Structure 1
Amino acid sequence: MTITDLPGPGSLCSPDERRSGPREPHRLVHPDHDVELQLVGEWLRRSDVVDGLRTAVDDAIRYVLDGARTWRFDLSSDDVDSDERSSVGTKLQYHVIEQLGLSKEPPLDTTIVGLPVEIKGTVRDNWMIPREGQCEITLMIQINAHELRFRAFLMRTHRAWLTGGKGNRDLKRSPRRAALALYALEVAPWTNLPNEPLRLLNREQLSVVFGRQGQVKRLTALFGYLPGVIIPRSSIETVCATNQDPMRRARQAKPEVLAQHDLVVLVGTWTSERNLAAELGFDLGDSGWVAVPRILVESTQAGV
């Protein structure tokens, strides 16, 4: 269906019957005149929505990958099957609710300014809108696993703007591209997700970091391969998957990294090291790690 064929404002919209009962046919309203949609959009704009969604998407991906038990760190990898990849969208709604300070509330996924809102995530090119979500306000998040980025839209997912036919077996339908272009409000443009340092390693380096040597030797190699790159706790847990106390092994690797690579490992857990890292331009938060050249650390400490 092209833009010219798409039903516009003023046209009649007849939703599919829902489990909760039929919804009456109604006239389409342009988003600019949809008061409820605008209220939800205004609330999202006032909140720190892009950063919140960024964290929610990253958390959902890491939850599904479960690196601390599976050694996996790349959602686009062949090690992740399609069902697992799709489950990111299912998990995402809970992380979005948490990050935006919302609550899980019927009749949809949550409420914003007292209005029901559906939350749909996808790792594909479209979203699957259930019958209960037809003609409702929907926050739609799209994840590009290959390029490690996401974007989000807010849309009143009218039945008239969804795909036709019988839908899938659950009668879920997707927003038409023309409708998305015309009637969706951008909540977040394409935004990069937090970096996964393990994706920066080449095949040879990965074979060492995930090799058969002990954890300390493998972590020493990891820091040596990635000087100046902030490494989150989750990446260390992935490298040391199924082993106990990986943070202790990472601390034990610090003198080895200095001896072998002339790099000082700074840890966000310790206030003095976190502050020193900040002086060097690294934001470790309370759990990040970074290996920096010894000469830089010494000159900074000396006030040079």
Structure 2
Amino acid sequence: MKKQLPESVVGPGHRDHNLLTVLAEEIFRRAGGREALAEKFPLMLRDCIDAVIQTPKTGRRAYDELEKTEKTYIGTRVEIDLRTLLRLSKGKLDTVIAGQDVDIKHTMGDNWMIPTEAFDQPCILVAADETREKCYLGLFVARLENLTAGQNKDSKKSISAAGFPNILWLLRDHPYPPNFWRTVPHEAIDRIFAGSNGNARVMALFREVQGRPITRDVIEAVAQQKDFMRRLRADGGGGTRDQLKKEGISLLNGHFDSPLIAELGLPACGASEFISVRTSSALGSA
């Protein structure tokens, strides 16, 4: 996405202000409020992209490594998951909000391709910037005067430079979680997935990545088995937690071990997240 987006001019007196405000308020309401949307939306978007990259299965770590058809599918996945997040139904376009048909457009670049059926219709604009770790959610009426004169072979147009100020931003330059595997060195990933079974791979994960929360989804992807959570419990001395403890590594959970995590000065963990840390002595529940 553009590093410097123009300020929105959508305010009282703007021809689309009333319509976009109604749509925005309904989106906030359905998300559970502005703060809830700001928390849920980036995670939804991250999941849409990671589900296609599939690092544990394919070895790929970045959006740029995807095939063209896979990149196209991300847009479909975003449309479906956004409707699910906001409990919206399908309409003549991608969805219906407050009785109004709305198209949903997604991009990983710096502009959106607007199809002919969405001309003069309201659109939800979704964007993810993998490099800058920012995400965007906006509302826009695709009026022809705000679109480029040129078009692609499918007659789709982009938003013109003069059109960008007519976007009503719900989230702009908003923090967006990076793909977990892009933050882990290639050599460490090789060591993690060299394990011959789920327990070995999960143990390697917590050896290689310490001092930072790891989500349940990442652990499941590494374990590649249905009972992966059992590996994180004592499991009669043979589970991940007990095995790592023998190596001087404590495995902590955000729900059960939050006081200890705070005492050790580690980053806060969600209830379903885990964090490992090398310690010189045994720790309580670890």
Whether the TM-score (by the shorter chain) exceeds 0.5 is yes
2:195–2:204 Cα contact (<8 Å) kept? no
* 1:177 to 2:161 alignment: yes
Alignment gaps of 5+ in structure 2: 1-8, 234-238
Please list the CA deviations of residues 274-300 of structure 1 after superposition, one character each: whole Å capped at 9, or x if unmatched: 6654776655434321113446984x8
Deviations 1:193-242 (A, max 9, x none): 2354433221221221122544333322221222221111221233234x
Corresponding position of 1:84: 70
Distance 1:239 1:147, change over 3 A: farther
CA RMSD of aligned residues (A): 3.0
**What is the percentage of aligned positions where both structures have the same residue?**
25
Quote the offset at 1:188 in angstroms.
Answer: 0.5
Contact kept, 8 Å, 1:86 with 1:123, in 2: the verdict is no
Unmatched tracts of structure 1, length 5 or more: 1-8, 10-28
- Aligned in 2, Cα 1:134/1:278: closer, same or farther, shift over 3 Å? farther
Q: Distance in 2 between matches of 1:32 and 1:230?
A: 46
1:161 match? 146
Matched, 1:234 2:217: yes
SS in 2 for 1:139: strand
Is 2:210–2:277's contact at 8 Å kept on the other side of the alignment? yes
Q: Check conservation: 2:125, 2:138, Cα contact below 8 A.
A: yes
Looking at structure 2, the residues matched to 297 and 56 of structure 1 have their Cα atoms a distance apart, in angstroms, of 37
- Conserved 8 A contact 1:118-1:136: yes
Q: Does the residue aligned with 1:190 lie in a helix, a strand or coil? A: strand
Match of 2:21, SS?
helix
Cα distance per residue 1:29-86 (max 9 Å; x no partner): 96465321221133345533322321221221132224564354x33353x2233123
Give the number of aligned pairs.
264
- 3-state SS, counterpart of residue 228 of structure 1: coil
Partner-residue secondary structure (3-state), 1:221: helix
User: Greater RCO between the two (CA within 8 Å, min separation 6)?
Assistant: 1
CA distance, structure 2, for counterparts of residue 63 and residue 204 of structure 1: 23
Alpha carbons of structure 1 residues 86 and 190: separation in structure 2 relative to 1, 3 Å: farther
Match of 2:6 in 1: none
Corresponding position of 2:176: 193
The aligned counterpart of 1:258 is 245
Q: Provide the rounded CA distance (Å) in 2 between the counterparts of 1:292 and 1:35.
A: 52
For the residue of structure 2 that corresponds to 1:89, the secondary structure is helix
Aligned residue runs from structure 1 range 1-304, under 5 A: 31=14, 34-45=17-28, 47=33, 48-67=36-55, 69-72=57-60, 74-78=61-65, 80-100=66-86, 102-165=87-150, 167-180=151-164, 182-241=165-224, 243=225, 245-251=227-233, 252-260=239-247, 262-267=248-253, 272-273=256-257, 277=261, 283-294=268-279, 298=283
Q: Secondary structure at the match of 2:114?
A: coil
